Amino acid sequence: MKRVFLIHGWGGSPDGGWFSWLKKLLAEKGYTVVAPLMPDPETPKIEEWVACLSKIVGEPDKNTYFVGHSVGCQTIIRYLETIAPQKVGGAFFVAGWFNLKQLEGPEEEMIARAWVKTPIDFAKVKMTTQNFLALFSDNDPWVPTTDTELFRKNLGAEISIEQNKKHFNEEEKIPSIFQWLEK
C-alpha cells in the first residue's frame, strides 16, 4: 500500500487548489493520503516544517511517496536529507525552488533567506531514492527557470515544464502527479 504525503507551500493549505482533487483521487484508488496543515504557513521555518513532516511520516519505507508544492518541496528535500540512507518510493516537486525572485519586501526576504541559504547535502538526499520528478511553469513569477537545472543536477530529477501555469496556485488538477504515482 502506497502512502502519499502532500506538503503544501508557503501561505498554502492542504485543502487548496489541486490538493483537494489529488487527495480525493488517491483515496479512491486505495492510497493512504496524508495532507497536513504545516506549522505557521505564513512564516515557514525549516526546523518546524521538517520536524512536523518527520513526526507525521513516522517510519518511511519504499512505499512512502511525497508530493510538495513550492516551499513544501524544500521541506521534503530537507526531510529526506535527515533520513538517509533510508529508502522511500520517490518525490514529486511542483514549483519547487532553490532560489526566489520578485519577493515582496523585507519580511518575505527574511523568511526566504534561511530556505535559500541553508546548505543541503544532496548526496544524502539522493541516497533515499532515485525517483524524483520536478514540474515547473514557464511563467512562474517566483521560481527562476534556472532552478530546473539545479533539480536535474543536484537530484537527478526528471524535469517537466508546462506552459502558462504560473506557480500552480490556480490549478484544479495536475494529472501528471497521479500518472507518476501509478508507475
Number of domains observed in the structure of the chain: 1
Per-residue confidence (pLDDT) for residue 110, from 0 to 100: 94
41 assigned to some structural domain: yes
Q: Which of 19, 69, 80 is nearest to 44 (CA)?
A: 69
Q: Which of 121, 167, 168, 119 is nearest to 144 (CA)?
A: 167
Domain with 172 in it: 3-59+74-137+144-182
103 assigned to some structural domain: yes
Tens of pLDDT, residue by residue, the chain (183 residues): 899 999 999 999 999 889 999 999 999 999 999 999 999 999 999 999 999 999 999 999 999 999 999 999 999 999 999 999 999 999 999 999 999 999 989 999 999 999 999 999 999 999 999 999 999 999 999 999 899 999 999 999 999 999 999 999 989 999 999 999 998
32 assigned to some structural domain: yes
Phi, psi at 143, each rounded to 5°? -100, 115
69 assigned to some structural domain: no
67 assigned to some structural domain: no
66 assigned to some structural domain: no
Q: Considering the entire predicted model, what is its pTM?
A: 0.97
* CATH number of the domain enclosing 91: 3.40.50.1820
Taking a C-beta distance cutoff of 8 angstroms, is the pair 32, 4 a contact? yes
Residues 6+ apart with CB under 8 A from 167: 70, 95, 137, 140, 141, 142, 143
Residues 6+ apart with CB under 8 A from 52: 36, 38, 39
Residues 6+ apart with CB under 8 A from 125: 77, 80, 81, 84, 154, 155
85 assigned to some structural domain: yes
51 assigned to some structural domain: yes
